Amino acid sequence: MLNRTCNLNHQRGFATLLTSLIILIGITLITLFTARTTLMEQRISANHYRSSQAYAAAYAAYSYGFGYFNQGGFDQNNDGVIDYTQAAPYSLNLTSANSTQTSATLYFDNNVSNCSASPPNFSQGKLVGEGLSDDGKGRHTINQCVTTLDILRGGGPEQPLISRSSVSLTGNASVINRYGNTTIWSGDPVILGNSNSIKTYIRDAGTPLSAATTVLESTDSTEATQIISSSNLGIGLDIIESDPALSGLTADDFFDNTFVLSRDQIKTLAQNAGQLFTDDDIADTDGLTGLIWIEGDSSLSGGDIGTRAQPAIVIFNGNAQITGNPTIHGLVYVCGQLKVSGTVSVVGAAVIEGDPSLVPAGQNPVIGNGTLNQVFAPSLLQNDDKPPLVGLTVAESGTWKDWP
């Protein structure tokens, strides 16, 4: 009886030991699995952190490239070669908010097969931003095709001076169109005043249309021109006045006949480019190029806007008084009244909406006792073979790529 009791006690000890051993093995396996899971989570977290760093660096490079392109395209030193290539990219060293250091490179690619550019040029192509994490192990690449908006409908105006309403010039004025036979197109009557210095010109018979651009777009009214209209000669065939096709348009329809985008869209583009002004800071437009929006009634005194190489599209969303002796290369669009009181040269075209709600009561939309030199220059209204105008850069839809 005693021996049987001892055996039973021994058996109970073995069961306890076996159970404890199984529990110990289970705890060990759980510990090992937990440690492995924790290690994997740390690796995943570290990889995600590196990936986020690399993506942020790549996006910073892309953003810099977009802004760079928006200021003049891929070839801003005008040497006929894109500024940053894959073999010689632009390098950025970046510091995050928590003081970590990352790096990135940027290069441009205007190969015709990569985007819609045809043939390859400097006004559209692909931006490539490559970013690295702080330890160099994380890498990310962003590709995006960019192009330049042509916001002028139909390639731009075909006359140097267009007004939806009337035109009244009482000072000195030269309106020149060496590309066609019309100089002024208005919805209401054109008044040339009594000054012998008010004249309109077209190309003389001895100058071919294939002449050099410097001749066809010269501000010298004596070069390759013949007088058609003046206060003495009267209104000639070069002036189309009282045209119901213009006077019958609403202000918005007239704007839409000039631009392919709405007022709000164009204003937003100018604002995004940092080129939205009021009369208080209008002096800051001196020397600018590209898309410029001037909000409200304003007075521009002196300064030059745009160049032959990089013209401007200047929109006065109100009445515009221009004094001094400014020169504007490109398009001038005035929503209200244009009043010329100084010596003003516009090489390109001027379009006057003449919104009755803006024009002072009893006055014409185009007036001036100053000197207006208005020369038609279609080469400045079309963006062919030119750097993109500042403010008109857009990303091509469907070309974003931020995966391998």
Q: How far apart are CA 347 and CA 306, in angstroms?
A: 10
Q: How far apart are CA 289 and CA 334, in angstroms?
A: 17
pLDDT one-digit tens code per residue, 38-72: 677 777 777 788 888 899 999 999 999 998 998 88
Residue 347: phi and psi, rounded to 5, are -105, 105
DSSP string, 140-178: EEEEEEEEE---BGGGS-SSSEEESS-EE--SEEEEEES
DSSP string, 212-259: -HHHHT-S-TTSSEEEEEETTTBS-TTEE-S-HHHHTS-HHHHHHHHB
pLDDT score, position 18:
72
pLDDT score, position 4:
54
User: Nearest-CA neighbor of 305 among 317, 314, 294, 296?
Assistant: 314
Which position has the higher pLDDT, 236 or 136? 236
| Percent of the chain whose pLDDT exceeds 70 | 92
pLDDT score, position 190:
94
pTM score of the predicted model: 0.81
The pLDDT of residue 229 is above 80: yes
Opening angle at CA 69, ends 123 and 71, nearest 5: 105
What tokens appear for 44 in the block?
């995943």
Furthest CA-CA distance within the chain: 148
pLDDT one-digit tens code per residue, 120-178: 667 788 999 999 998 888 899 999 999 888 899 998 999 999 999 999 988 888 999 99
End-to-end Cα distance, the chain: 81
Cα torsion through 59, 82, 154, 246, rounded to 10 = 80
Strand order in the sheet with 101-109: 90-95, 101-109, 125-132, 139-148, 393-395
Asked if 171 contacts 368 with a C-beta cutoff of 8 angstroms, the reply is yes
Give the residues across from 124 on adjacent strands: none
Cα–Cα distances in Å, from 259 out to 255, 289, 292, 331? 6, 18, 14, 11
232 backbone φψ class: left, alpha, beta (φ>0; ψ -120 to 50)? alpha
What tokens appear for 13 in the block?
């000890």
Opening angle at CA 389, ends 383 and 395, nearest 5: 95
Q: How far apart are CA 19 and CA 14, in angstroms?
A: 9
Instruction: Name the 3-class secondary structure at 338.
Output: strand
